[in-house]
Structure 1
Amino acid sequence: MASATLLLPARRRLDGQPLPEPVARALGRSDRGEGEAGQPAQLRRHFRLLPDHWPVAALTRQLDAGDAGGDTWLRADPARIAPDMHGARMLAWGEALELTAEDTAQLLPALKPLFGDAGFLLDAPQPSRWYLRLPREAKVPAFAPVQDVLGDDLFDHLPQGEQGRRWRALLSEAQVLLHNHPWNAQRVAQGKPPVNSLWFWGGGRLPDAVQTHYRQIRSPDALLRALAAAAGVVSAQEAGQVDALIDLRHLRNLDRLCAEALQPLLQALDRRELAALTLDFEDGAQFRIARGQRWRWWRRPLRRLHEAADAMPA
């Protein structure tokens, strides 16, 4: 019998409303665990990479263009920054900038010579995902994931030391080119945010193998789809009773989560259509729900996601 696992945002993004009675009862009787917090750690609970590293750029490049093998890749994603009294704060990146193919056609030619002189090829098979192709043996510093930088001062996350010096200089020169580009003035006049910075992150080479036990994976996220493709999960709608991983990290409404996902899945458990349901939150909290737990009548319902309760071992 198949199982389902839901990838969910951190509980603080959903908490605040009481849980419906069937959901509160099921979570109160569930097996609970605690894992490492953060987006990479959450995904690594469900995928094994060989060798064990996390090359986001190479994985998404393979999804976007199919040519990631043999080189080292680095994301150079477009971003919007705004100066403040302490430095420059990242306000948006990637898809939030609503970039089109015309935007990349206008902006990339100004940046390509800068990176070409450094020995790197810059291109953008997707308007919101820009890439640097580096020599296979290239050594790159540990860049902060862009999700960790959003809302913060860029300079707090820049790589330090001698190895980081070159990249700090490239970023500064790219910012000057983008700030002065007439296309950005046109975007602003149209009410769109300017693309006035890049962010380097996700460096590495394509893994030799990606493993997962799921045979159905549903997600709007490029990285998760890239991991699924690398693991050989070709169809998100594979027929039959198969273990499924469902990405709901974009949800922010608890009522919608309960009505559209949790309650129907709990009903499937009652009908013996599912063997188990696992909720995996980005903050590391995990709940495993199985049909046999209905006999744990002594365990009180979990009225809110952060409510303390006695835990059973996961």
Structure 2
Amino acid sequence: MKRGIYAVLGVDTPFDPHFSLVTSPVVPPLVLAGLRLALALYATVFVLFRLIYEGVRYHSDGSFFSYFTSLSYIGLLSYFWASGVQTFSYARSLRSASHPPRYALQSWPRPLQFLHLLLHSTIVTFPVIVTAVFWSLLSSPDTLATRYSAWVNISEHALNTAFAGLEIVLTNAAPSLPRRPRSGVALPWVHLPFLVGLLACYLGVAYITSATQHFYTYSFLDPHTEHAKLAAYIVGIAAAEGVLFVVVRYAMMLRAALVRRHTAPERGIAYAYSPSDPAVDAQAAHKEELDDWQEVSETGIAV
């Protein structure tokens, strides 16, 4: 059977039938929504404060978006705003006994569903690349010299990976398994070329910045000083992204397997609260109504 382009890109129909993107194995959906929105708010305040402070004091705000660190951080806060709103939408739907649980993204156009999944793939891998490159190649004794520089560098080059780690560990999002093709919606293999392609596109940004603003965003991208090492750095970062993608993918699969092992089969997915929770009762009641209607339809009895 031929698969459509969106199925190849990881967008199944129906989209996320197990609500993997908006549930957690350890906290209820409403708490997960609050956590995501809190992280989004922190990241937004950080970016706005830095732009305003450094723009007024150092007039350096014009170069902010030339750095991959800044662009990946914008992606991080954008994802947490988007996922937080979607999770809150799902948490509200659980409290309605008259409708099945759902969240807004499930009914949106498939291009937006794909972009959401691709954004998720970036925020669980790019922050780790940023952190590793910064602390191994770019940090200096001035990195933590003042309170402001320490706050900026910890927020951008340490907390970014911590935020990504929370998304990896605290959600039910996981890659689809061969025997359970719709068991998850995260990190399909086809996303890896897109991620490497985005890294390659950033090289264009870096060299456009060099041509227009006359500085290199990262010293190791300067061909005049790095010479042959430049190609090694570029290939090395692309290879590191590939290795990291595999590590994160299988880490999420392991977490999903452990969750299923400690979850009652009849519940299908861990919602992180007891079956007596009113939201779960509402979901079960709606399922019973659907089953009753199916039975009535099959017997031909009108109600």
Q: Same fold (TM over 0.5)?
A: no
Compare relative contact order (CA 8 Å, sep 6+) and give the higher one, 1 or 2.
1
**TM-score, normalised relative to structure 1:** 0.22
**TM-score, normalised relative to structure 2:** 0.22
Give the structure with the larger helix fraction: 2
